[in-house]
Every structure is written in structure tokens, then in C-alpha cells.
Amino acid sequence: MKQLYIKQKVFSLSGKFTVKNQQEKDVYYVEGSFMQIPKTFSIMDTTRNEVALITKKVFSFLPKFFVEVHGREVLTIKKEFSFFKARYTIDGAGIEVHGNWWDMDFQVVQNGKVVGQVSKEWFTWGDSYKVQILDEEMETIIIALVVAIDCVKADHAAAASAPTT
């Protein structure tokens, strides 16, 4: 089992942050596009090679995010039409999320097998998540999924706080 930590910088306009291992060494770098359409987040390894890309689809009735790993689209996260509580679905790679992904406390399940677990670290400056990787072959997909879910949450929060005319 491998443990990784994602800590976002609260005041970073460009959305730059790192993923660290238990020894606090950087293992992934995440960079968001700033003032660019479509909005993207690039996940790079320690040699700065892109290993995953998250893209928000533009001109869509409901928000939709695409997750590519090693140049191949593996997941889509999309908002479902709902009158009350925001509902999202994750399609692709046989992946399901069990638990409360809105509060970042969930298990990542692939074809019925738990491959990762995510929990929010409380009492920290900014959003911090502990990511346990149970299947190391799924590491990049799990990190991309956590970053994508965080993008969905940020997008939802921005839309909820937008002034209505």
C-alpha cells in the first residue's frame, strides 16, 4: 500500500500544487490553466512529463469533465440534472466511488475491488487529502480522479456563488 498527500495552495490563482509521498517528497506536479478555455489541469511526474490531463467541457448544458491518463480518455465526470442536491456520475474504466465524495471521504472501486481510499485531512491550511493506493497500477488514475473531483467541487462552488441577474 502506498500513501500520497495532496495539498493545494489556497491562494494560488493558477491552481499549482503538488502530490507528496510519506517522506514529503514531490511525486506529481499539478498545474491548472489560468484564464484559458477550456479549463485544464495537467498532472506531471517528477521529470515533468504529463501523465494525466483533466479538461472541463465547454458549451455543455451541464458541467462535464474528461480525464485522460497517458493520452487515453479513461473517465468522464458529469453533472446529472437534479432539482435539489447536486448529483454527479463517473463513467469509465469500471470505476465507482463509494462513500461521500463531496466531502472527499470515499473508496475508489474498480470492478468490485477497492483500489484506493481518499480522506480529507482536517485542520490544515487549504484543502489536503490523504490518498491510499491499494493497487499501484491504478495510482495515476486515482490521483487524476481526486484532482478531477476537486475541480468539479470548485466549479460547483464558483457557479453557486456567481451573481444572478
DSSP strand pairing (2-8 vs 113-121): unpaired
pLDDT: which is higher, 121 or 12 = 121
pLDDT band at residue 33 under the 50/70/90 scheme:
confident
pLDDT at 9 over 60: no
Predicted confidence (pLDDT) per residue in 62-117, tens digit = 778 899 999 999 999 887 777 776 677 889 989 998 998 778 899 999 999 999 99
What is the grid cell recorded at 37?
Answer: 478555455
pTM confidence score = 0.85
Q: What's the pLDDT at 79?
A: 78
pLDDT at 130 over 90: yes
Q: What's the pLDDT at 10?
A: 47
Q: What's the pLDDT at 124?
A: 59
The mean pLDDT value of the chain amounts to: 84
DSSP state of 103: G
Residues facing 116 on adjacent strands: 108, 133
pLDDT: which is higher, 53 or 157 = 53
Q: What's the pLDDT at 86?
A: 65
Q: Which of 23-27, 56-60, 99-103 has the highest mean pLDDT?
A: 23-27
HEC assignment per residue over 60-100: CCCCEEEEEECCEEEEEEEEECCCCCCEEEEECCCEEEEEE
**CB neighbour list of residue 93: distance below 8 Å, 6 or more residues apart:** 74, 75, 110, 141
pLDDT band at residue 56 under the 50/70/90 scheme:
confident
Q: What's the pLDDT at 3?
A: 95
